[in-house]
Structure 1
Amino acid sequence: MLRKARFMIGRILKMDYKSLFETSKKVSEITGKNRLLVFFDIVYCGLKYKAGYKDYLAFRFYELNASQRDTYITRGRNFEYVTSLNEKDARELLSNKALFLEKFDELSHRKWLFVDENDFEGFKSFYLSVDEFIAKPIHQLSGVGIEFFKTDENDVIEMFEKFTEDDEYVLEEIIKQHPKMSALNPSSVNTIRVVSLRVGDQVEFPFIGIRMGNGSRLDNFNRGGIIARVNIEEGILQTDGVSQDGTVYKCHPATNTEFKGFEIPFYDEVIEMVKWAAVRLPGIGYVGWDIAISEEGPLVIEANDFPSHDLLQFPELLDDDRIGLRPVFDGLIDKMKRGGK
């Protein structure tokens, strides 16, 4: 109870009230409803369902009744899943990209390096062994701070200084993805977002989707990317794609590849890989995995200890009844607690 109260107080103190009022105005324009009534409905949903104003807009709560609204994993409810399933001291392994890659090096299937300011020779060896690499700040999320670089033997010292002067970085060899995944969008490595829940040695999957870039080398949803939902049993896309602004795509705009019916290569291996990895994270029961597919099979990009809740529940990714994923999450957790029965 104290943890929930702290979360709510924190949200109230840090809330972007200007954006809240702008959201109220936007919904009023969409629906024709009185702006003040919309404002109070957003506030009500925050108190009743722990929904942020971004949840209200993204999930189109203004179209839903109370029963439907109650089925959504909102910002506050997602926080509760994270804090109940992921022990605080264990989360550093996932929030630190270097520690994660060290833990699951055998699943990375690519060259990578944590840049140590005291190891120029190690940096030089990595730098000269690849033609191009991606640099990631080890603690940033959602693609923030990520850059791509081509190597030049004349720039080794300059580049070493760049990556040791302020933030801490992981450098990774560029992945050559499976041709079928490139057929979706060749400009980005298109990853499988696998959400896993674990109780003991049991692992279940409430959501799987494919994230794709759209005019970018990154596939991050909040950087213009597209996501489509995967049929978990079959490994086939079952929905159209959707971007964060709600634009729906039947085909990828860059390739004209149709989403519905697209089959993921090495899908069974993806599932087995994530199951194997999930049970090797003591104290962590809720993870958002990002998996790439090469010609040889799946490889782990990273894992998130605070998975995004919004990209899972855009209306276009749900069934016609617009029921959110909370019943799925709770049902799978309860099933595992009962020993799979």
Structure 2
Amino acid sequence: MSNKIKVLLSRVGDTNFKAAFSNIRADARASHRLTPVVACDTFLSMLKYGCAFSDYHLFHFYEKNASQRAAFLTLTENNRLIQALNNVAYRPVFEAKTRFAREFAPYLHRDCLLLAGSGDNEVLAFLQRHGVVFAKRDFAFGGKGVKRLSVGDFSGEEALVRYLREEKYDLIEELIDQHPALSAFCPTSVNTVRIATILDGDEIAVPYAIFRCGRDGDVDNVSSGGFSANIDPVSGVIISSAMSRGEERCETHPVTGAVFRGFQMPMWDRVLELVREAAKICPEVRYVGWDVAYNHDGPLLVEGNYHPGHMAFQLCDLTGRKHLFEKYLK
């Protein structure tokens, strides 16, 4: 119990109380209970289930009973899972985009250039080959630090090189020529599958998969306004409605009209083969959330996540899926 209290106190210390109590008041209205009652229930749930303020609010704990709450993988349990399965010394393999590009080069299937080790002439040649590129910074998350740049928006390749140096980008990549089936959801973003793998001895489990697409921008992250929907990891079929920031839920994309539920992800057997092969490259990190995109020829890796989140795959249908990880939590 003392460890739970320590975690609770540290979490409270890191909390944005304005946002937290705004959520508590919203939950009180939704559940037709007094705000102090919901506030007490929130703190007790944090202690009992290891949830964060945001877990209680976004997972709708205010309308769930004890067994339903216990079914969710919460923030504390997700952190414990990662500590148990992943060696922190290898975290930079995944979080430094330049290192990831080197280690997983056979699975990227696109032209990439590390800026720190490249002269201006090499960068110029890259820009002449690819007039539009994605520029990325190491250790950036949630779609931040990623920008789509076109030579046409500058006075020439030399001006773009100067911009890349001045803005301290670390990596540029060829634009992914996205598969038309995925472009149908949002043609302006690279729409991806987040698919998790757990290396368990000689076996590689795939506990969940999520489809992510943009709304009308360059990135597909929910935190940047995009949508996510659950995929059946066996068949590759989308099995839920889509959810966006602010708990907006929809069956069809509000801009393009593409239907989420029932969509069959292309070449799913090749996606599973790709992530299972990639999972063997760094066995010291057993639990990885892979971001997979499609070009016209098939799936390719965008990046791997050392610290997969616990929210999206439980949020789309508000269903707890801790059972997928029980054997590793023990």
Shorter-chain TM-score: which interval?
over 0.9
Instruction: Give the secondary-structure state (helix, strand or coil) at the position aligned to 2:13.
Output: helix
Which residue number in structure 1 is paired with residue 82 of structure 2?
82
- List structure 1 runs of 4+ shifted beyond 6 angstroms: 1-6
Instruction: Give the secondary-structure state (helix, strand or coil) at the position aligned to 1:218.
Output: coil
* Cα distance in 2 between the residues matched to 1:170 and 1:2: 45
Which residue number in structure 2 is paired with residue 35 of structure 1?
35
The 8 Å contact of residues 86 and 283 in structure 1, kept in 2 or not, is answered as yes
The reply to whether residue 263 of structure 1 matches residue 259 of structure 2 is no
Which residue number in structure 2 is paired with residue 160 of structure 1?
161
> Which residue identity does 2:139 align to in structure 1?
H
> Which residue identity does 1:326 align to in structure 2?
K
Residue 325 of structure 2, aligned match among 297, 313, 329 = 329
The 8 Å contact of residues 56 and 62 in structure 1, kept in 2 or not, is answered as yes
Offset, 1:201 = 2.9
Offset, 1:168 = 4.2
Instruction: Give the secondary-structure state (helix, strand or coil) at the position aligned to 1:303.
Output: strand
* Cα distance in 2 between the residues matched to 1:227 and 1:317: 11
Which residue number in structure 1 is paired with residue 94 of structure 2?
94
Instruction: Give the secondary-structure state (helix, strand or coil) at the position aligned to 2:262.
Output: coil
The reply to whether residue 184 of structure 1 matches residue 219 of structure 2 is no
The reply to whether residue 217 of structure 1 matches residue 215 of structure 2 is no
1:274-331 alpha-carbon deviations (Å, 9 max, x no partner): 00010111210111110001110100000110111111111x435xxx4x11111224
The 8 Å contact of residues 117 and 164 in structure 1, kept in 2 or not, is answered as no
Instruction: Give the secondary-structure state (helix, strand or coil) at the position aligned to 1:232.
Output: coil
Which residue number in structure 2 is paired with residue 50 of structure 1?
50
Offset, 1:229 = 1.0
Offset, 1:190 = 1.0
The 8 Å contact of residues 51 and 75 in structure 1, kept in 2 or not, is answered as yes
Which residue number in structure 1 is paired with residue 60 of structure 2?
60
* Cα distance in 2 between the residues matched to 1:244 and 1:81: 25
* Cα distance in 1 between the residues matched to 2:25 and 2:288: 35
The 8 Å contact of residues 4 and 47 in structure 2, kept in 1 or not, is answered as no
1:129-278 equivalences under 5 Å are 129-152=129-152, 154-165=155-166, 167-278=168-279
Give ranges in structure 1 of 5+ residues lacking alignment: none
Instruction: Give the secondary-structure state (helix, strand or coil) at the position aligned to 1:216.
Output: coil
> Which residue identity does 1:203 align to in structure 2?
I
* Cα distance in 2 between the residues matched to 1:8 and 1:303: 30
Moved more, 52-61 or 122-131: 122-131
> Which residue identity does 1:46 align to in structure 2?
M
* Cα distance in 1 between the residues matched to 2:241 and 2:323: 23
> Which residue identity does 1:281 align to in structure 2?
C
Change (3 A) 1:7 1:139: farther
Offset, 1:200 = 2.6
Change (3 A) 1:161 1:231: same
Instruction: Give the secondary-structure state (helix, strand or coil) at the position aligned to 1:164.
Output: helix
Which residue number in structure 1 is paired with residue 123 of structure 2?
123
1:260-299 equivalences under 5 Å are 260-299=261-300
TM-score by length of 1: 0.90
* Cα distance in 2 between the residues matched to 1:49 and 1:251: 34
Give ranges in structure 2 of 5+ residues lacking alignment: none
Which residue number in structure 2 is paired with residue 14 of structure 1?
14
* Cα distance in 1 between the residues matched to 2:13 and 2:268: 44
The 8 Å contact of residues 137 and 168 in structure 1, kept in 2 or not, is answered as yes
Change (3 A) 1:123 1:55: same
Instruction: Give the secondary-structure state (helix, strand or coil) at the position aligned to 1:149.
Output: strand
Offset, 1:3 = 8.8
* Cα distance in 2 between the residues matched to 1:296 and 1:169: 27
The 8 Å contact of residues 266 and 293 in structure 1, kept in 2 or not, is answered as no
The 8 Å contact of residues 72 and 322 in structure 2, kept in 1 or not, is answered as yes
TM-score by length of 2: 0.93
* Cα distance in 1 between the residues matched to 2:90 and 2:3: 18
The 8 Å contact of residues 95 and 139 in structure 2, kept in 1 or not, is answered as yes
The 8 Å contact of residues 116 and 164 in structure 1, kept in 2 or not, is answered as no
* Cα distance in 2 between the residues matched to 1:5 and 1:98: 39
* Cα distance in 1 between the residues matched to 2:4 and 2:132: 45
* Cα distance in 2 between the residues matched to 1:281 and 1:59: 33
The 8 Å contact of residues 133 and 174 in structure 1, kept in 2 or not, is answered as yes
Change (3 A) 1:8 1:137: farther
* Cα distance in 1 between the residues matched to 2:14 and 2:123: 40
1:298-337 equivalences under 5 Å are 298-314=299-315, 316-317=316-317, 322=319, 324-331=320-327, 333=328
Offset, 1:10 = 3.7
Number of aligned residue pairs: give it.
Answer: 329
